[in-house]
A and B are shown apart, each in its own frame.
Chain A
Amino acid sequence: MSTLSLAIPRPVHPSGLWNWLTTIDHKKIGVLYGVTAFIMFLSGGVEATLMRIQLTKPELDIVSAAVYNQLFTMHGTTMIFLAIMPLGAAFFNFVIPLQIGARDVAFPRLNAFSYWTFLAGAIMLKLSWIGGATDAGWFGYAPLTSVDQNPGKGIDFWIISLQVLGVASLAASFNFIVTIINMRAPGMTMMRLPLFTWMTFITAILLILAFPVITVALIELTFDRYFDFNFFNVARGGSVVLWQHLFWVFGHPEVYILILPAMGIVSEVLPVFSKKPLFGYTTVVLAGAIIAVMGWMVWSHHMFTVGLGPVANAVFTITTMLIAVPTGIKVFNWIGTIWGGSIRINTPMAFSLGFIAMFLIGGISGVMHAVSASDAQQQDTYFIPAHIHYVLFGGAIMALTSGIYYWFPKFSGKMFDEKMGMLHFWLMMIGQNVTFFPMHFVGLDGMPRRIYTYAEGMGWDLWNLVATLGVFILIAGFLVFILNMVKSWKSGPDAPGDPWDGRTLEWSIPSPPPEYNFSEIPVVKSLDDWWNTKQGGNGKAVPVSGGSGDEEHDIHLPQPSYWPLVTAIGLFIAAYGVVFNQLVVPWAIAIIGTFIGFVGVYAWSLEPVNDPDEDSAH
């Protein structure tokens, strides 16, 4: 086999830059995902801060209307595709193999490819600020994106980088579906899977079904812009509403792609710090599955004011109200979990409890605009950003932050500073409510979203000022967070293998986990197996230390590879080549990039995961 691979030796770099570039260790890729996504989160935060500063007072002129349009478009796109989704992916990568008792994911090199492709898409999107970023809103409604209305490169960058990010997300999701189905430790039946793994599984299925729809919509838009096709060209009979349908058929499942992993994290944290099993495990799993199915039946509630007719509006009102039921079930289950538990309030627990409260507010305002009649008043006002920030910031970001604190000892091997963690929690809790709650008021008062300024005397002055002040509380909170993370990672006290008295398998191994995760693949006998083992319920004692080092030699880990990186670079060049297709020789750069990508794919598929020669060297 090895004779077939290209005559380039395998990368063997135990540390340093090349190690990170060629790694296929799911834990390292998880860290790469997490750090990149957090940097992107900060960049989206800067965009948001600029918008809030602009809106502090009526008729300010700090940024122009044109820049403001780019700010809100880039803020939305960044937070959804470059921050929350990859933060979820960071946890999938780091946690899932540990939770199911596996040594790596099913396709380690595909995993590396997902990360590098995500990075390529992220760089491409953010660099589009040079020369003018996209300004048509994160949903890019036609005809705002048509070449007549928007001849600049901003939209092209947005389209192509979303396609690249789509490739990354799809590859990662295929990987996780196979990993979760096929790499479970013996005895780990589907109904013994930890909740976070379950929610990841459902998210991945949603993602592979939802992303092709946006891919097609973006392809159609690309053809319209590049080759004068007629998809969204009203003059030749095209319909701009078709874009809205395609976008939201993707966009609504996407909402659940963002929130289900967050719900999974909370379902892990609450039982641990309440010292109780999750209340109604089966119900929570089923509620997640029902949300995933019903998530496909509600997309037109984003389009109540388009004029689809009373029947469509009534149907989508009903389905949208129904989808609140499984969500409500989850909230009751979480409350049932902490009810009567022996509760420890620390940073991860505080964030999870905060999640429940904030997500509940967002959920309730969601049911308010589920009613199409009342939505007619709320559509395109600040009431909608208020809702979306309660579910995505108060919901997803709070839960993801809870997850960062919860698993921080596991991936860094260090304990964080609890006092600073709680300070971060209170700053964030106060900051987000000061920022986002006033948006409900100005929204119901009729302040439209996406306006770069407003006139005096509309009654919006006070609440806009308050909202802007809230941003600075949030900034203070995140500064505390960054300081805490950096300081603790560098010089925090060493973390034990099981600092929280955890329930799932990742806590049965040392912190940080060895490269091979489990020296011996565990045999699972029940839900919350590690907890039961510690209680003596399983009649066996598993040492936290992870056994002796001798077994290490018998473990064949997949080896690092250059090809995922090469393939991703090829894709990156091709993507730039499509945007700048008239540079030098038309389409030449795109063809070169595609060629590099093909070389990468061929070399990759001919390269064995494990070099037999390397193995015998042990």
Chain B
Amino acid sequence: MAQEHTSTAGHEEHEDTTTGLNHRKMLMWAFLGSDCMFFGSLIATYLVYQGKSLTGPLPIDVFDIPVTSVSTFVLLMSSMSMVLAYSALTRGNMKGFRIWMVSTAIMGATFIGFQVYEFSSFSTHHIHFECSEVAEKIEHGDYVKAGHDHFFQKECLDSNGLLKADHHVDEEYGLKPQTNLFGTTFFTLTGFHGAHVTLGVVWLLSIFFLSFKKGVITREKNLDVDLAALYWHFVDVVWIVIFTVVYLFGVFEGF
């Protein structure tokens, strides 16, 4: 009787469905396919507008690659602890399952914390430099960030176009969604990714708390964890694309 099996939340080895795959798992895969198009459209918008901003700040002005690398590392590690949680559950190790589950959620929350920090530091970004340093760079033909160049032209030169000696610049140069196309597309894309991670953390914590109720999450009834894990890995993979396309391509020349 197909109905009986499909109606329980259990995840049996052999589902009584046409393909033998569980309904909910198939739905999850279909949903992730759909979500690919969602992020695909957001990334496409970002790429279409890359380099089209009329004013700064630009990626190179605000990105701090070492910091974002750390948060990326944390998120990737959370995928590993998700795998460990699921594996502990299927071996019937409930304690291990709960520990890894909470670690995954904490690492997800840490990533969100980094993102909050990043968003606020971008929006209050300051530029400060010694005029003489930038002048030296220009003289040597070295690369000068657009923001530095902007304020150099504005503040470091006197009315005769000569360098003001010992002058230094300290200006607010914040990136908000309204500032330019980079701000608009960057905050929308990474914001929606952050929303996905946040939802994932809520989901993982819900399962964690439910697992204390007897018989809800067991070695055999592990489908809920399986589905959350699929979602979690997907969100991670999307971040790898965003980190590469937005952060790395945005900072390193030649891309």
Q: A4-B213, A223-B177 given as contacts; is B41 within 8 A of A213 (CB)?
A: yes
Contact partners of B21 in chain A: CB under 8 A: 182
Minimum distance in angstroms from B214 CB to a CB of chain A: 10
Q: Are A212 and B213 in contact (CB under 8 A)?
A: no
A373 in the interface, Cβ–Cβ < 8 Å?
Answer: no
Interface string of A349-371 (1 = CB under 8 A from B): 00000000000000000000000
Q: Are B18 and A239 in contact (CB under 8 A)?
A: no
Q: Are A182 and B34 in contact (CB under 8 A)?
A: no
Contact partners of A238 in chain B: CB under 8 A: 49, 181, 184
Number of residues from A at the complex interface, CB < 8 A: 51
Contact partners of B31 in chain A: CB under 8 A: 174, 208
Interface string of B173-214 (1 = CB under 8 A from A): 000011011011100100010000000000000100000010
Q: Are A239 and B2 in contact (CB under 8 A)?
A: no
Q: A106-B23, A177-B30 given as contacts; is B3 within 8 A of A556 (CB)?
A: yes
One of B5-13, B78-86, B129-137 contacting the partner: B5-13
Q: A4-B216, A521-B2, A610-B4 given as contacts; is B181 within 8 A of A216 (CB)?
A: no
A209 in the interface, Cβ–Cβ < 8 Å?
Answer: yes
Q: A107-B27, A181-B26, A242-B45 given as contacts; is B181 within 8 A of A212 (CB)?
A: no
A45 in the interface, Cβ–Cβ < 8 Å?
Answer: no
Nearest chain A residue, comparing its CB with the CB of B18: A184
A618 in the interface, Cβ–Cβ < 8 Å?
Answer: no
Interface string of A181-218 (1 = CB under 8 A from B): 11110001000000000000000000011111101110
Q: A212-B41, A213-B41 given as contacts; is B3 within 8 A of A103 (CB)?
A: yes
Residue from the set B4, B33, B45 with the largest chain A CB neighbour count within 10 Å: B45
Contact partners of A174 in chain B: CB under 8 A: 27, 30-31, 34
Q: A4-B216, A183-B18, A556-B1 given as contacts; is B34 within 8 A of A229 (CB)?
A: no
Partner pick for B7 among A215, A220, A521, A556, CB 8 A cutoff: A556
Contact partners of B2 in chain A: CB under 8 A: 102-103, 183, 521
B42 in the interface, Cβ–Cβ < 8 Å?
Answer: yes
Contact partners of A217 in chain B: CB under 8 A: 41
The answer for the CA separation of A557 and B40 in the assembled complex, in Å, is 39
Interface string of A153-166 (1 = CB under 8 A from B): 00000000000000
A558 in the interface, Cβ–Cβ < 8 Å?
Answer: yes
A228 in the interface, Cβ–Cβ < 8 Å?
Answer: yes
The answer for the CA separation of A238 and B40 in the assembled complex, in Å, is 19
Q: Are B37 and A209 in contact (CB under 8 A)?
A: yes
B220 in the interface, Cβ–Cβ < 8 Å?
Answer: no
Q: Are B19 and A181 in contact (CB under 8 A)?
A: yes
Q: Are B3 and A182 in contact (CB under 8 A)?
A: no
Q: Are B49 and A216 in contact (CB under 8 A)?
A: no
Contact partners of A170 in chain B: CB under 8 A: 34
Minimum distance in angstroms from A285 CB to a CB of chain B: 18
Partner pick for A231 among B33, B45, B54, CB 8 A cutoff: B45
The answer for the CA separation of A506 and B38 in the assembled complex, in Å, is 37
Q: Are A229 and B7 in contact (CB under 8 A)?
A: no
Residues of A at under 8 Å CB distance from B? 1, 4, 102-104, 106-107, 170, 174-175, 177-178, 181-184, 188, 208-213, 215-217, 219-220, 223, 227-231, 236-239, 242, 246, 249, 521, 554-558, 602, 608-610
22 A–B contacts, CB within 8 A, in A order: A1-B215, A106-B6, A106-B23, A107-B27, A174-B34, A177-B26, A178-B26, A182-B23, A208-B31, A208-B33, A209-B33, A220-B188, A228-B178, A229-B177, A230-B180, A230-B181, A230-B183, A237-B54, A239-B52, A554-B1, A608-B8, A609-B6
Residues of B at under 8 Å CB distance from A? 1-4, 6-9, 17-19, 21, 23, 26-27, 30-31, 33-35, 37-38, 40-42, 45, 48-49, 52-54, 177-178, 180-181, 183-185, 188, 192, 206, 213, 215-216
